[in-house]
């Protein structure tokens, strides 16, 4: 069915198609029995794939990456499509519009997207209210970032604010310090600034009765020395895990016409071209940490076999975003059925 719907969605500008789909999913979810029917069609039972991580029970290892449900508006629909967890956000303390439109582009020949959304979102309060109104049916990770006008030296305050406002409504957190589309954000990966953010959040966490895991999301554009530095910091501070990776600034290995790529301009590339880098990073971090640090793999998963490869390389969980856009609602089911056979 998605083979028929996708060409229509792909006639629309990607951002419009995205917003339209979220609205449509919300309308459909109010139709009597629709949620049960969708769940029955797309969410296979998979008790053998259950895993316990961070004290949380994931019904399977497949989730949705940050950016798809920026404002916590369609997470339960993703549960119906078979996903066991989702990163909502990234959210910032104050609402922000993001970059000028158009800011999201498809590269169908490469099964990829380029986006420079700039962390547009309705602010952390809006996400918290949505989560409060509509109890989640899957594990929720809150992806946190800073407002673009907040200087990096004060970034820790932004992270702290969203952290405390979301604490009661999410199961875990991911710190997005690696988005390439907000000026200077990726500089937060400098270990001094990063240490300050992490230490503030860890000390704030001590005040809560329940322990909620905090993970850090890396850029695929870091070199090995930078990855080493950050992983050492994560281990020494006692963060709970790593998400590898975000979108890339690289345009290597694209088959799309160079003039089209030039016309699009800057932005983070996601989808198929990212897969080899993600696999390499997961293997590297797994080996370096001797499997002691849980890794959530994100980047370029377009087929069930790729999800399997990442799990075999040491990832505890796998996230998809661009793969969902290109493969449609049955993507998680296909991955889960494949993993069940493995
Ligand atoms: C349109 C778009 C918006 C995104 N927004 C965010 C975001 O707000 N925060 C974040 O951490 N990652 C964001 N990402 C990155 C994804 O979470 C994911 O890490 C990346 O796309 C690689 O995975 P994929 O190849 O499966 O898409 C975004 C990606 C896309 C395509």
Q: What's the CATH code of the domain at 63?
A: 3.20.20.70
Ligand 1 centroid distance, CA of 319 (Å): 10
- Does residue 136 carry a pLDDT above 80? yes
Band of pLDDT at residue 191, cut at 50, 70 and 90? confident
- Residue 189's pLDDT is 73
Beta-carbon count within 10 A of 43 CB = 19
Mean pLDDT in residue range 161-169: 98
Ligand 1 centroid distance, CA of 322 (Å): 8
Residue among 304, 231, 246, 329 nearest 61 (CA): 304
Domain span at 271: 2-341
Give how far Cα 9 sits from Cα of 82, 126, 180, 289, Å.
22, 27, 26, 42
- For a pLDDT cut of 70, what percent of the chain falls above it? 100
The closest-lying atom of ligand 1 relative to the alpha carbon of residue 319 is 26
Ligand 1 centroid distance, CA of 65 (Å): 6
Tokens at 152, concatenated: 């990096």
d(CA 326, CA 300): 11
Which distant-in-sequence residues (6+ apart) come within 8 Å of 84 by Cβ? 58, 59, 60, 61, 62, 63, 138, 139
- Residue 192's pLDDT is 85
Band of pLDDT at residue 162, cut at 50, 70 and 90? very high
For ligand 1, atom 7, the nearest C-alpha belongs to: 67
d(CA 115, CA 99): 10
Between vectors from CA 251 to CA 248 and to CA 253, what angle results, nearest 5°? 115
- Residue 134's pLDDT is 97
Terminal alpha carbon distance of the chain: 27
- Residue 19's pLDDT is 97
Torsion-angle region of 5 (φ positive above 0: left; ψ -120 to 50: alpha; else: beta): alpha
Beta-carbon count within 10 A of 109 CB = 12
d(CA 169, CA 131): 6
**Structure pTM?**
0.98
- Residue 297's pLDDT is 98
For ligand 1, atom 1, the nearest C-alpha belongs to: 115
Residue whose pair of structure tokens reads 């970032």 in the numeric block:
145
- Does residue 188 carry a pLDDT above 80? no
Mean pLDDT in residue range 187-198: 86
d(CA 195, CA 197): 5
Residue whose pair of structure tokens reads 């199961």 in the numeric block:
171
CB 60 within 8 A of CB 46: yes
- Does residue 185 carry a pLDDT above 80? no
What mean pLDDT value characterizes the chain? Answer: 96
Tokens at 245, concatenated: 């990776």
Ligand 1 centroid distance, CA of 67 (Å): 5
Ligand 1 centroid distance, CA of 258 (Å): 23
CB 239 within 8 A of CB 198: yes
Ligand 1 site residues, Cβ closer than 6 angstroms: 65-67, 70, 89-90, 104, 113, 115, 117, 119, 143, 176, 179, 217, 246-247, 270-271, 274, 298-301, 320-323
Residue whose pair of structure tokens reads 């996400």 in the numeric block:
127
- Residue 193's pLDDT is 87
- Residue 149's pLDDT is 95
For ligand 1, atom 6, the nearest C-alpha belongs to: 67
- For a pLDDT cut of 90, what percent of the chain falls above it? 93
Sheet strands (E) in the chain:
51-53, 56-58, 62-64, 85-91, 104-107, 112-115, 139-144, 172-176, 214-218, 241-244, 268-271, 295-298, 317-320
CB 39 within 8 A of CB 80: yes
- 272 three-class SS: helix
Give the chain's domain count.
1
Preceding omega of 245 cis (within 30 degrees of 0): yes
Q: What are 63-81's pLDDT values in tens digits?
A: 999 999 999 999 999 999 9
CB 284 within 8 A of CB 310: no
d(CA 242, CA 245): 9
Q: What are 207-266's pLDDT values in tens digits?
A: 999 999 999 999 999 999 999 999 999 999 999 999 999 999 999 989 999 999 999 999
Ligand 1 pocket test, candidate residues 63, 66, 176, 332, most atoms within 8 A of CB: 66
Lowest mean pLDDT among 36-45, 136-145, 175-184, 271-280: 175-184
């Amino acid at each position: 069915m998605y083979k028929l719907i996708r060409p229509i969605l792909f006639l629309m500008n990607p951002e419009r198609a995205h917003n339209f789909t979220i609205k449509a999913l919300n309308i459909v979810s109010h139709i009597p029995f629709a949620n049960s029917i969708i769940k029955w069609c797309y969410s296979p039972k998979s008790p053998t794939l259950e895993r316990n991580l961070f004290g949380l029970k994931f019904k399977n290892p497949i989730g949705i990456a940050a950016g798809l449900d920026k404002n916590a508006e369609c997470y339960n629909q993703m549960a119906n499509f078979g996903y066991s967890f989702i990163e909502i956000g990234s959210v910032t303390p104050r609402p922000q519009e993001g970059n000028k439109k158009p800011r999201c582009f498809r590269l169908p020949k490469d099964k990829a997207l380029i986006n420079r959304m700039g962390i547009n979102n309705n602010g952390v309060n809006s996400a918290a209210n949505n989560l409060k109104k509509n109890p989640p049916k899957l594990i929720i990770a809150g992806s946190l970032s800073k407002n673009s006008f907040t200087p990096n030296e004060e970034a820790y305050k932004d992270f702290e604010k969203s952290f405390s406002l979301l604490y009661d409504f999410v199961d875990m957190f991911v710190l997005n310090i690696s988005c390439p589309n907000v000026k200077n954000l990726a500089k937060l990966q400098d270990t001094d600034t990063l240490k300050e953010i992490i230490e503030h959040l860890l000390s704030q966490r001590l005040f809560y009765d329940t322990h909620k895991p905090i993970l850090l999301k890396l850029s695929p554009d870091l070199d090995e020395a930078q990855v080493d530095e950050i992983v050492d910091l994560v281990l020494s501070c006692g963060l709970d895990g790593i998400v590898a990776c975000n979108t890339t600034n690289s345009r290597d290995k694209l088959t799309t016409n160079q003039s089209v790529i030039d016309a699009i301009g800057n932005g983070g590339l996601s989808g198929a071209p990212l897969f080899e880098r993600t696999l390499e990073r997961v293997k590297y971090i797994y080996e370096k940490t001797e499997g002691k640090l849980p890794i959530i793999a994100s980047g370029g998963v377009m087929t069930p076999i790729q999800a399997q490869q990442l799990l075999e390389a040491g990832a505890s969980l796998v996230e998809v975003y661009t793969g969902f856009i290109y493969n449609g609602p049955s993507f998680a089911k296909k991955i889960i059925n494949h993993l069940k056979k493995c």
